Structure 1
Amino acid sequence: MMNDLKHLNANQLAAAQWDNGPLLVLAGPGSGKTMTLTARVARLIEQGRDESFRILCLTFTRKAAADMRERLLNSAPEAKDRVLLTTFHAFATDILRQHGSHFGLSPDFEILEESERLGMIKSVLETQAEALTKFISAEKALTAIDFLLRNVTPDSNVPELLKDAEAGRQLQTLFIRYKALLKQQNALDYGSILYFCEELLRERPRIGKQLRTVYRYVCVDEFQDTNIAQYRLLRALVPDRNANLFIVGDDDQVIYQWNGASPKRVTELSQHYDLNIIQLPENHRCPPEVVSLANALIVHNGERSPNKKPLLPMKTGSGDNPIDLLEFEDDRAEAEGIAERVSERLNQGVRPRDIVVLARATKLLERVQRALESRSVTSHVPRRKSQFESAPLRFVTSALKLALVRSDDDLASIVTKSLSDCVHQDSSEEDLAGFSAALNGDQLEALGALVLASPAVPKALQEAVAALVQGRYAEFIQSALDYFDAVEKASQDNGGEQYAEYATERAVWRSILREMGSDREAYAMPLGQFLQELALANKTPEAPSNAVRCLTIHSAKGLEFPHVYLIGMSEDQLPSFQSNRSGDDSREMQEERRSCFVAITRTIETLTMSYGRRYNGWPKLPSRFLFEMGLLERSEQRVAWG
């Protein structure tokens, strides 16, 4: 721990040595905030060796929590049993698992996938069609419900949100009915986890008091990303003005306003807590020239913390200009030009994983990806996935869910279909229904009987399912995946179309188990808890190590790369068309500026920015942000920005 403290600068050390009371650490990009936070936690643990308190650290992604846990355990191994490093959603899920009975939830509640949520909404709209005439689709209804959950909207306030009084009343009816259905089915969705947990802590303050007895210190990383539900949950957990609350964030990096984040949340902190503030302006990541651009850009935003210090460059300049600005005729020429420069850099010996192409929109990245492919350069544009798609992992996850509920006809249908896809045999729902009827409706027992009676199901898979029927779910997972691994490895066509995504998703599965701690820790969980953790996990595959990553700015947040290419630096691209319509001083435009700030501060060595004079055939001006950063002269500006 002392070694950790020795490597901190004066501001980092002041934060790491903070003991009691609420503190906000305004940590700019590349300022070493994670190192500072873990150093403080390690110090508290070491100084409290003879005490029994625990520390709660909340962050926003499981990967961030896992990375921080690894770093902390390297410096303070004893922290394993003293610190809970987790996400808001995982922590709220744990509270509801312990105390959800107050709402009629049992600990093994299911976390619904998007298709299951849509099915629930459709059933409500169909059964109450005469009363709910204002909803044109289940998708739009679900979007409205997500908004209400995210903003912790009381039932009584729903009607006044819409100008159409009848539409407001119907939305209120649907919202109440949807929440009631969740509880009836012992199920939650992603948004309702925080909604119900906040309600639980607010209505039953003794639970919060109990948690505060266990967790003497509460830390929050990436605070700027909190939405209303997360902030309300935090307030219910630590309501006292002098709470031991350690907040790390940066209002210059708020880029999730669509999800309820707001730079004004820092102001709310000051209203609710006797807040002290320490700033970490030192940037240890970027070349001085990039830091200068970032400062020149972000100063144009009005919604910033008072007395916010500019970033301080801590790296020594190399002598070469690390910044390049490229102009192209149009978006196609831009994609080709960037691909050519990336290819040249790779030919100079730079590793693909050290290069990133950033854009505000995926469409531009896909164009660059095609241009890279034409040069035989492997690249990766992430495709976000919330559930597994390969037949083997669909079978494993749906069978596990069936083991929990045992009598769900829709789920049994999914299990049967995915099993048929895995073994290339038509095991019909009627076959399963026949076994189920003979077994008093127990669909899991019926599955066991079905696979035993199916000659196409190999013995290894039959034995795996038998283990599941007997309650040994960890053995089922390991045996089933061992079988599918062997099929995928032995088959020349990798098991056929149904196995197309299997190898990639299998790597994701392993990653999820690591985020849970280890295979042993994950499989030691009760089945209900394991499925809850699995449902909360991000299923999006990592980029291959031999691929140049092509990322949206939003997905690049928290990452850093030696060589950054930021494309689409034209009006209506970055900033977006919508923010242009809203005006230069709008909250939308300020968020676009913060997005640009986040993008350029991913840079470790070189930053290349580019813009085209035409996009999709329409003439466009260079981004106003290029002028604000001083990369283009105002005299070159052909029109005045509104």
Structure 2
Amino acid sequence: MDADAILDGLDPEQRAVAEAVRGPVCVLAGAGTGKTRAITHRIAYATATGAVAPQRVLAVTFTTRAAGELRGRLRRLGAPGVQARTFHAAALRQLTYFWPKVIGGEPPKIIESKIGLVADAARACRLSYGRTELRDVAAEIEWAKVTQHRPEDYAAAVARTGRRPPADVVDVARVYAMYETLRRERNLLDFEGILELTAAVLTEYPEVAREVRDQYRYFVVDEFQDVNPLQKLLLDAWLGDRDELCVVGDPNQTIYSFTGATTQYLLDFTRAHPNATVVKLVRDYRSTPQVVRLANAVIGPAWDAETRGEAARRHRLELVAQRPDGPEPVYVEYDDEVAEADDIARRARKLIDEGVPASQIAVLYRINAQSENFEAAFAAAGVPVVLRGAERFFERPEVREAVVQLRGAARAGADAETEGMGLIATVRHVLSGVGFTDQAPEGTGAARARWESLQALAQLAEDVAIADPRAGLPEFVAELEERAALQHAPTMEGVTLASLHAAKGLEWDAVFLAGLTEGTLPIVYAETPEQIEEERRLLYVGVTRAREHLTLSWSLSRTPGGRKNRRPSRFLAGLTPRASTPSPAPADRSRRRTGGKAGPQPCRVCGRPLTAALERKLGRCADCPAEINEELLLGLKEWRSAVAGDQRIPAYVVFTDATLQAIAERCPETMEELAQISGVGAAKLKRYGAAVLALCRGETPDTSPGLPD
């Protein structure tokens, strides 16, 4: 690509980054300001103008997906020879290459999880830890290693930093020491060891350092605010005494200090490199002015905090919105967490009905334990969800099985056998061999999760076919293999449920920030000014994930009928207008019972308060006796299948099994009675109410839906 053409379409600040082809360069990039665009155009412009050869560039980021995105963009910009890798991938590649030359012998085996070795170390120390404790101790060892603390100085480091170890500090130090002993005895290497050993080889073997530094002369490091001391040690070893370094980061998004990341390397960059070029990217292309205004208001006090020095204030970023106006953020106060989850599910359902794709909606919370109520509420509302941070997509058994079948079909020439069917039909045909069906199974269990994984592959085939109508099965399999290597999962059609930490780097049209109470955000164990400040940045990250619709909510008690002694997060002070309290319409009285002042919904058989989602939907305890009209239930299911088939939607979107069971138990005679059943909201009442009541009367209903709202 022509050098001048590379600069076309960049805003003035992005162009300044691209034209700063000689280092050192520090890019302070706010959320949604196009930092990836800026740095990829900088690299491409540098190679196009001859400032550096593509093969001499190493761009480093933190995830394989981000590295893959960098490579893809650089390829399209005419710089395919640039190396874009994670710290670990780059280090492992170098370590593997130089091992036979400078160390020799059997190379160590890489361990992907520390938990098994930590368990062995704990047993050797005569300590008994459960699975959760083992995971926490493993994380603590990772922190100690990335911050360069040995077992013998671990206790002092914990005391100095105010860190709260997951177990007795002396015991953790003993397990850490035994872990390292067992690791060496068994010739194992963990991820921290990859970086540490690579840095050591570069330091101790001048000939290795010369070869590496001759290969890589031009460095770009993304997300520099998340660099930890061990990664900085390796970066310094790569650089030597050179300064051809471009770093990109946002001090407002430093949220991983608990893992050893520190923003100081970013804030002190100009001190280490006094002649550095500094460019600020503040034009926000992601969010509406209303969302941007709130984001600036949330993070503003952090810049004025006494804990921030002059260097931090010089790096202050205040976003400037570039999009047209949108709706104002909504603030909602609930009586309890159940009511909060139910109403958020209802609001998400309304957005979907208005045309917002489910995959463009997210519910974000501080800790993963908060997801349970939302999973239940969305299931009751008939809205599919995708849990982020769970098992990796390409590691799921059904996905691995499907990829094997697709790969085999491609080798066997299935395209030829199914000539005329096209890629979409061919992929669905192959997936049917591993149990995929056009219609989703009932319920929300393992069968449903398996179907959704296979459905995501089928949907990806549609995306590939649209992008390249000539693509066949071999091209689709190649796409899958590349995505698997990058852990780039296809988009699954469902509302995303994720923690605020897991949401970093992502964005949605609509975002619900839930559970914003004192003790949750900031989290109860955030005590120091620095820890509180990081919690504030976590809320800022959540706000800046939203493109257009943003709802912030909190609940006054944990359970229905509980004491309302919670307070909204201190970070919302002065920001919120008068918070609204949902007032359900008469057609939605079941939700009022779950979260209103009348307390939790009682069981209609024994009177016990109902808190479980399924029990609230049925209106009774799961083990309480109830008469059910089996003939009506069968008729309801047959009718639902016909409607789902006509509308080409999953059956559960019409009504879930639990809702049909509740209808068959109560046999409502009027619209008002039907509306009192959980899962029958105003929209579904209008669309399907007449047909359901006809079935309850023993009549044959029309399968066509009523008019939508």
TM-score norm. by structure 1 comes to 0.70
**Aligned to 1:19, which of 12, 18, 21?**
21
Deviation at 1:32, TM superposition (A): 0.9
Describe the superposition over 1:39-90 as per-residue Cα deviations: whole angstroms up to 9, x where unpaired.
10111121129957521111111111112222221221xx222x00111111
AA partner of residue 551 (structure 1): A
> How far apart are the structure 2 equivalents of 1:188 and 1:521?
31
Deviation at 1:503, TM superposition (A): 8.1
**Aligned to 1:620, which of 559, 566, 569?**
566
Deviation at 1:283, TM superposition (A): 1.5
Deviation at 1:277, TM superposition (A): 1.8
SS in 2 for 1:599: helix
CA contact (8 A) 2:151 2:174 kept: no
Deviation at 1:316, TM superposition (A): 4.8
**Does 1:250 find its partner at 2:226?**
no
Q: Give matches, 1:470-485, under 5 Å.
A: none
AA partner of residue 177 (structure 1): T
The aligned residue for residue 86 of structure 1 is 85
Deviation at 1:374, TM superposition (A): 1.2
Describe the superposition over 1:234-254 as per-residue Cα deviations: whole angstroms up to 9, x where unpaired.
1111132x5110100011101
> How far apart are the structure 1 equivalents of 2:293 and 2:436?
55
The aligned residue for residue 340 of structure 2 is 334
The aligned residue for residue 467 of structure 1 is none
Describe the superposition over 1:485-543 as per-residue Cα deviations: whole angstroms up to 9, x where unpaired.
6751489999x9899859839979x99xx9xx9977999xxxxxx9xx98x9659x655
The aligned residue for residue 531 of structure 2 is 588
Describe the superposition over 1:401-427 as per-residue Cα deviations: whole angstroms up to 9, x where unpaired.
xxxxxxxxxxxxxxxxxxxxx9xxxxx
AA partner of residue 86 (structure 1): R
**Aligned to 2:148, which of 144, 152, 155?**
152
CA contact (8 A) 1:56 1:217 kept: yes
Distance change >3 Å, CA 590–CA 206, structure 1 → 2: farther
AA partner of residue 299 (structure 2): I
**Aligned to 1:367, which of 368, 373, 377?**
373
> How far apart are the structure 2 equivalents of 1:172 and 1:341?
48
Describe the superposition over 1:586-629 as per-residue Cα deviations: whole angstroms up to 9, x where unpaired.
21111110011111111211211111122354521111111153
CA RMSD in angstroms, aligned pairs only: 4.1
**Does 1:43 find its partner at 2:45?**
yes
Mean Cα displacement is larger for which, 196-205 or 139-148?
Answer: 139-148
**Does 1:574 find its partner at 2:578?**
no
> How far apart are the structure 2 equivalents of 1:338 and 1:506?
25
CA contact (8 A) 2:21 2:51 kept: no
AA partner of residue 279 (structure 1): K
SS in 1 for 2:195: helix
CA contact (8 A) 1:391 1:499 kept: no
> How far apart are the structure 1 equivalents of 2:428 and 2:495?
31
Q: Give matches, 1:169-568, under 5 Å.
A: 170=174, 173-182=177-186, 184=187, 187-240=188-241, 242-274=242-274, 275-301=276-302, 302=305, 303=308, 305-318=312-325, 321-385=327-391, 388=395, 390=397, 393=400, 487-489=433-435, 501=450, 504=453, 538=487, 543-544=491-492, 546-568=493-515
> How far apart are the structure 2 equivalents of 1:624 and 1:591?
13
AA partner of residue 255 (structure 1): I
Deviation at 1:196, TM superposition (A): 2.0
Distance change >3 Å, CA 499–CA 488, structure 1 → 2: farther
Distance change >3 Å, CA 165–CA 373, structure 1 → 2: closer
> How far apart are the structure 2 equivalents of 1:168 and 1:570?
32
CA contact (8 A) 1:53 1:216 kept: no
CA contact (8 A) 1:380 1:547 kept: yes
Deviation at 1:233, TM superposition (A): 1.2
AA partner of residue 382 (structure 1): R
Deviation at 1:312, TM superposition (A): 3.6
> How far apart are the structure 1 equivalents of 2:278 and 2:514?
36
- The percent identity for this pair of structures is 27
CA contact (8 A) 1:27 1:249 kept: yes
CA contact (8 A) 2:399 2:454 kept: no
> How far apart are the structure 2 equivalents of 1:552 and 1:264?
25
> How far apart are the structure 1 equivalents of 2:575 and 2:348?
24
> How far apart are the structure 2 equivalents of 1:565 and 1:167?
41
CA contact (8 A) 2:327 2:548 kept: no
The aligned residue for residue 701 of structure 2 is none
TM-score norm. by structure 2 comes to 0.64
Higher RCO (CA-CA < 8 Å; seq separation 6+): 1
**Aligned to 1:629, which of 567, 575, 592?**
575
SS in 1 for 2:573: helix
Deviation at 1:575, TM superposition (A): 1.6
Distance change >3 Å, CA 195–CA 487, structure 1 → 2: farther
CA contact (8 A) 1:385 1:538 kept: no
The aligned residue for residue 640 of structure 1 is none
Deviation at 1:165, TM superposition (A): 10
Mean Cα displacement is larger for which, 321-330 or 245-254?
Answer: 321-330
Mean Cα displacement is larger for which, 496-505 or 355-364?
Answer: 496-505
> How far apart are the structure 1 equivalents of 2:189 and 2:428?
31
SS in 1 for 2:356: coil
Q: Give matches, 1:601-620, under 5 Å.
A: 601-616=544-559, 617=562, 619-620=565-566
AA partner of residue 96 (structure 1): L
> How far apart are the structure 2 equivalents of 1:189 and 1:377?
40
Distance change >3 Å, CA 278–CA 500, structure 1 → 2: closer
Describe the superposition over 1:535-581 as per-residue Cα deviations: whole angstroms up to 9, x where unpaired.
x9659x6551x2111221111111121212111121112221122xx
Deviation at 1:306, TM superposition (A): 2.9
CA contact (8 A) 1:159 1:172 kept: no
> How far apart are the structure 1 equivalents of 2:128 and 2:516?
39
> How far apart are the structure 2 equivalents of 1:61 and 1:165?
31
> How far apart are the structure 2 equivalents of 1:270 and 1:622?
39
CA contact (8 A) 2:389 2:502 kept: no
Describe the superposition over 1:142-187 as per-residue Cα deviations: whole angstroms up to 9, x where unpaired.
44432332223357645755789976884574254134135x3xx4
Q: How many residues align?
A: 520
> How far apart are the structure 2 equivalents of 1:499 and 1:297?
39
CA contact (8 A) 2:286 2:323 kept: no
AA partner of residue 12 (structure 2): A
AA partner of residue 150 (structure 1): V
The aligned residue for residue 433 of structure 1 is none
SS in 1 for 2:355: coil
Describe the superposition over 1:432-468 as per-residue Cα deviations: whole angstroms up to 9, x where unpaired.
xxxxxxxxxxxxxxxxxxxxxxxxxxxx99x99xxxx
CA contact (8 A) 1:366 1:381 kept: no
AA partner of residue 494 (structure 2): A
Deviation at 1:291, TM superposition (A): 1.8
> How far apart are the structure 1 equivalents of 2:88 and 2:456?
23
> How far apart are the structure 1 equivalents of 2:119 and 2:556?
46
CA contact (8 A) 2:142 2:259 kept: no
> How far apart are the structure 2 equivalents of 1:630 and 1:218?
44
> How far apart are the structure 2 equivalents of 1:388 and 1:24?
37
AA partner of residue 178 (structure 2): L
SS in 1 for 2:375: helix
Structure 1 residue runs of 5 or longer lacking an equivalent are: 398-421, 423-459, 465-480, 524-529, 634-642
